[in-house]
Chains A and B, each alone.
Chain A
Amino acid sequence: MKQFSLRMPVRYLINACLIIAFLIIGNIITQGELLSRAQNNIIIQVGFFIILAVSLNLSAGYLGQLPLGHAGFMAVGAYTGAIFWRMGVLPDGASVVVGLILAGLAAAVFGIIIGIPALRLKGDYLAIITLGFGEMIRVLINNLPSITGGAQGLAQIPRHSTFLVVYICMVVCCLVIHFIMKSRHGRAILSIRDNEIATESCGVNTTYYKVMAFVVSAFFAGIAGALYAGFLGILVPSDFDFMMSINILMIVVLGGMGSMLGSIVGAIVLTSMPLLMVDLARYRMIVYALLLIIVMIFKPSGLMGTYDFSLSAIIEKIGRRFSSGKVEKEKAQKGGDGNA
Chain B
Amino acid sequence: MLILDQLINALQLGSIYALVALGYSMVYGIIKLLNFAHGDVIMVGGYIAIFSLAAGHHPALAFFLIVFGCTLLAVVMEKLAYTPLRTAPRISVLITAIGISILLQNLAQFFFEARPLPLHIPLPTGSINIAGTTLAYTMIITIMASVLSMLALNFVVSRTRLGKAMRAVSEDGEAAQLMGINVNNVVTFTFAVGAALAGIGAILYFVRFPVVTPTVGAMLGLKAFIAAVLGGIGSIPGAMFGGFAIGILEVLVTAAGFSRWTDGAVFLVLIIVLLVRPTGLMGRKIVEKV
A contact residues around B103 at 8 Å (CB):
286, 289-290, 293
Q: Bound complex: CA of A132 vs CA of B222, how far in Å?
A: 9
Query: Which of B90, B99, B226 has most chain A Cβ within 10 Å?
Result: B99
| A125 interface residue per 8 A CB criterion | yes
Shortest Cβ distance from A283 into chain B, in angstroms? 8
B175 at the interface (CB under 8 A from A): no
Given contacts A129-B270, A286-B106, contact A139 B90 (CB under 8 A): no
Establish whether residues A128 and B263, one from each chain, have CB atoms under 8 Å apart when the complex forms: no
99-124 of chain B: CB within 8 A of chain A: 99-100, 102-103, 105-107, 109-110
Residues of A with C-beta under 8 A to B138: none
Residue ID in chain A nearest B263 by CB atoms: A139
Q: Is A117 an interface residue (CB 8 A)?
A: yes
| Residues of B close to A249: CB separation below 8 A | 95, 98
Stretch in contact with the other chain, from B55-63, B81-89, B159-167, B240-248? B81-89
Secondary structure at the A interface, as helix, strand, loop or mixed, is helix
Q: How far is the CA of A292 from the CA of B96 in the complex (A)?
A: 7
Complex Cα spacing A242 to B267, Å: 14
How does the 8 Å CB contact mask read for A254-294 relative to B, with 1 for contact and 0 for none? Answer: 00000000000000000000000000001101101110110
Known interface pairs A123-B91, A127-B34. Does A286 touch B84 (Cβ–Cβ under 8 Å)?
no
Instruction: For A136, give its contact among B100, B109, B267 (CB under 8 Å).
Output: B267
Given A120-B275, A127-B34, A246-B102: A66 and B267 interface contact (C-beta under 8 Å): no
- CB contacts (< 8 Å) of A132 on chain B: these are 226, 267, 270-271, 274
Bound-complex Cα distance A290 to B103 (A)? 7
Report B-chain residues with C-beta under 8 Å of the C-beta of A135. Answer: 222, 263-264, 267
| Residue in A139, A143, A246, A249 with the greatest tally of chain B CB atoms within 10 Å | A139
For A142, what are the chain B residues with a Cβ–Cβ distance below 8 Å? 260
Interface assignment of B229: CB less than 8 Å from any CB of chain A: yes
A133 and B271 in contact (CB under 8 A), knowing A139-B263, A292-B99, A293-B103?
A: yes
User: Which A residues lie within 8 Å of B229 (CB)?
Assistant: 125, 128
Contact status B89-A297, CB under 8 Å? no
A53 to chain B, nearest CB (A): 15
The contact string, 1 if C-beta is below 8 Å from chain B, for chain A 219-251, is: 000000000000000000000001100100100
B264 and A139 within 8 A (CB)? yes
The verdict on A169 contacting chain B, using a C-beta distance below 8 Å, is no
| Cross-chain contact B34 with A289 (CB below 8 angstroms) | no
Query: Given contacts A197-B288, A297-B96, are A129 and B263 in contact (CB under 8 A)?
Result: no
Q: Does B153 contact A (CB under 8 A)?
A: no
For the complex, what is the distance from the CA of A133 to the CA of B84, rounded to whole Å? 32
Task: Please give the distance in Å from A279's CB to the nearest CB on chain B.
Answer: 14
User: In the assembly, what is the distance between CA of A243 and CA of B99, in Å?
Assistant: 11
* Chain A to chain B contacts (Cβ below 8 Å), 22 pairs: A64-B91, A121-B274, A129-B271, A129-B274, A132-B274, A140-B264, A143-B261, A246-B98, A283-B110, A286-B107, A286-B110, A289-B102, A289-B103, A290-B99, A292-B95, A292-B99, A293-B96, A296-B85, A296-B92, A296-B95, A296-B96, A300-B89
Further 20 A-B residue pairs, CB within 8 A, beyond A292-B95, A296-B92: A117-B275, A121-B278, A123-B90, A123-B91, A123-B94, A124-B34, A128-B225, A128-B229, A128-B274, A129-B270, A129-B274, A133-B271, A135-B264, A136-B264, A139-B264, A253-B95, A289-B106, A292-B98, A296-B85, A296-B96
The 9 nearest A-B residue pairs measured at CB:
A292-B99, A289-B103, A139-B264, A285-B106, A289-B102, A300-B92, A293-B99, A132-B267, A296-B96
